Structure 1
Amino acid sequence: MEKFSNNRENYWNQIKKELSDVNDSGDFRFQYLEIGQLLSHGFSVTLTEKNPRELVLKTWNAEYDNQRFDKGIFNLDRLAITDRKVELNSQESKTINKLLDSKLELTNWGGIVLDGLFCQFETNDRKLDWNTNEEINDDLIELVELLRNKAIHNTV
């Protein structure tokens, strides 16, 4: 039996859950998750120890789902999320490894974000959440921009 909901928070949570779901969860080096606060887009990028030159990219087709669910009834079992493998070239792999060895952290930004992004960067030992690039340090910005670029250029 399929799971339906008219609760937007349940819809959000299911999108987040499916984008975050990693088959080899104990094997991942990191995962970056990004969802537009207004449900405009969503994707995750995961790098595993097993395949250090290959990103696992999960992409949510927000436009398609938001049109299908325009009446506010969400089918939580049939979200339009696809996954694919994306090869890293040697320079990208080197850059990612350098950035992962640096200090990736949040800054003490004191602003208010009304409709930004939900961003999450997770490793085996920590999880960082933020809404705008002003809340993260330069090394994390560089890593996130590289991952966003890979996601944008590898979406079907």
Structure 2
Amino acid sequence: MERFSNITEALMNEAKIEIESFDIKDGEKIIAYFSEIPSISGFPYKIILVENSDGIVYARFRQWDTEYDFTRWDNGVYNLDRLRIITDEKILSQTESALLKEYLSQLEKIHLPENINKENVIILDSSLWKFGFILKNKNIDYTWKAATEDINVFVPLINLMREKYLDRI
């Protein structure tokens, strides 16, 4: 039985679940991720970088096509089981893979901030951003609506991921 709702929060929660649902194959490991969950009118997406057992790095992308779905649901009742999710997968070039390894190597050598969320600002309607990566000794996860200047240390890695899908985000 399909699930229907007229509650926007239920719709957004289902969209978050859908864009997080990547298939990770045996022998693969997630290296990094980046996501944006905008206000309801946006296009929530997530990008992950995955390395397989052969050392090949893939960028995988999942995005909720809100424009398409909202044209189907003009009466305010949402089908939670039929969200249109756009998916894509691209192999990182050797140059991109080398840059990725260099960025991660640099991050292992510095003191990383514990938090990059600027908490002394008021954000009325904005995206929720999530970013994380895996180093040899630890997993790093950040969430923010307004970032502190500490995000600058991560910009090269974030840009590497986002550049693979600039035409979609």
**TM-score tier (shorter):** 0.7 to 0.9
Q: CA deviation at 1:99?
A: 2.6
Q: 1:100 aligned to 98, 104, 111, which one?
A: 104
- Report SS of the residue matched to 1:9: helix
Larger Rg: 2
Q: CA deviation at 1:21?
A: 1.1
Q: Determine the C-alpha separation between the residues in 1 that align with 2:15 and 2:121.
A: 27
Superposed, which structure 2 residues align to 1:1-156 within 5 Å?
1-24=1-24, 27-50=29-52, 52-101=56-105, 102=107, 105=113, 106-107=115-116, 109=118, 110-123=120-133, 125-134=139-148, 136-153=150-167, 155=168
The answer (yes or no) to whether the contact 1:108–1:135 under 8 Å persists in 2 is no
| 1:115–1:149 Cα change, 3 Å | farther
Q: CA deviation at 1:71?
A: 2.3
The alignment's TM-score, normalised by the length of structure 2, stands at 0.77
5+ long unaligned stretches in structure 1: none
Task: Count matched residues.
Answer: 154
| 1:116–1:98 Cα change, 3 Å | farther
Q: Determine the C-alpha separation between the residues in 2 that align with 1:133 and 1:147.
A: 18
> What percentage of residue pairs aligned between the two structures are identical?
27
- Report SS of the residue matched to 1:94: helix
| 1:72–1:97 Cα change, 3 Å | farther
Q: Determine the C-alpha separation between the residues in 1 that align with 2:72 and 2:15.
A: 15
Choose 30-39 or 13-22, whichever is displaced more: 30-39
5+ long unaligned stretches in structure 2: none
Q: Deviations over 1:89-122 (max 9, x none)?
A: 2222222223333166443633222222111123
